[in-house]
């Protein structure tokens, strides 16, 4: 698939459903997660393990900004102060996030992780492997590490439902450390959470810029 087609396909798959969920007050659905806020917390809170000191954070693929909101609270529970920023491929979803989070409207940008030029550098950047086609995974990590992060910044990769069957935008059941390894990187740390039946639910791994 051509690169542009991949992004077009991404928007076709999720834009309307994220916007519709957000409109009806389903905030987790507006960020691509079914099952409401309690389930959201069980699946996403593990990401806070990667935040061990105060700093600025860019969520690449921020959708309606729910992770920006909730992760700051989870980090604060660990005595870590995080200043959130967001980047979103869909202009319409980014606009929705700005309207919802007016206090952060100036720091929610619309753009593609592979072409956008950040106006500043961040202590932390979070992203998902499926933001780009599989063959561009390594290039995305290098680009974000070299152009988005501060010199000692941390790049955090989350794999949601790595235990599930692969679809167009999934990465074939890989945990985040394994995925990084296959792309030529060795994780500096990782954290995971499992479903009640033991299935790996969310796997997070990070790389520290050295
Ligand atoms: C599943 S949501 C993630 C929400 C939140 N960051 C989280 O981790 O729960 C993925 C978002 O990434 C956006 N996205 C997809 N490809 C992207 C790209 N190439 N650059 C920037 N954002 C992208 C999508 O439009 C979508 O809103």
Half-sphere exposure at residue 13, Cβ-oriented, CA atoms within 13 angstroms: 14
Distance 55 CA to ligand 1 centre (A): 21
Q: What is the domain-level CATH number for residue 7?
A: 3.40.50.150
Distance 161 CA to ligand 1 centre (A): 15
Distance 67 CA to ligand 1 centre (A): 11
Q: What is the C-alpha separation between 67 and 31, in angstroms, rounded?
A: 8
Q: Is the C-beta atom of 10 inside 6 A of ligand 1?
A: yes
Distance 61 CA to ligand 1 centre (A): 3
pLDDT tens by residue, 59-74:
999 999 999 999 999 9
Domain that holds residue 145: 3-208
Half-sphere exposure at residue 81, Cβ-oriented, CA atoms within 13 angstroms: 0
Q: What is the C-alpha separation between 113 and 203, in angstroms, rounded?
A: 21
The residue that leads in pLDDT, 166 or 121, is 121
Q: What is the C-alpha separation between 80 and 82, in angstroms, rounded?
A: 6
Q: Is the C-beta atom of 59 inside 6 A of ligand 1?
A: yes
What pLDDT shows up at residue 168?
45
Q: Is the C-beta atom of 93 inside 6 A of ligand 1?
A: yes
- Confidence label for 169 from pLDDT (cuts 50, 70 and 90): low
What pLDDT shows up at residue 79?
97
What pLDDT shows up at residue 163?
60
pLDDT tens by residue, 33-59:
999 999 999 999 999 999 999 999 999
Domain count, the chain: 1
What pLDDT shows up at residue 170?
59
């Amino acid at each position: 698939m051509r690169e542009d087609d991949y992004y077009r396909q991404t928007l076709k798959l999720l834009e309307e459903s994220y916007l519709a969920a957000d409109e009806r007050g389903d905030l987790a659905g507006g960020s691509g997660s079914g099952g409401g806020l309690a389930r959201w917390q069980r699946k996403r809170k593990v990401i806070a393990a990667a935040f061990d000191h105060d700093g600025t954070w860019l969520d690449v693929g921020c959708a309606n900004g729910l992770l920006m909101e909730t992760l700051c609270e989870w980090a604060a529970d660990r005595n870590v102060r995080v200043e959130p920023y967001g980047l979103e491929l869909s202009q319409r979803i980014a606009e929705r996030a700005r309207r919802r989070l007016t206090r952060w409207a100036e720091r929610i940008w619309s753009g593609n992780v592979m072409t956008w030029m950040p106006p500043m550098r961040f202590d932390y950047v979070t992203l998902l492997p499926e933001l780009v086609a599989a063959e561009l995974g390594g290039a995305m990590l290098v680009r974000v590490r070299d152009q988005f992060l501060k010199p000692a910044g941390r790049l955090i990769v989350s794999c949601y439902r790595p235990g599930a069957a692969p679809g167009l935008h999934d990465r074939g059941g890989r945990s985040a450390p394994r995925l990084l390894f296959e792309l030529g990187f060795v994780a500096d740390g990782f954290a995971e959470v499992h479903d009640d039946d033991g299935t790996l639910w969310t796997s997070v791994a990070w790389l520290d810029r050295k």
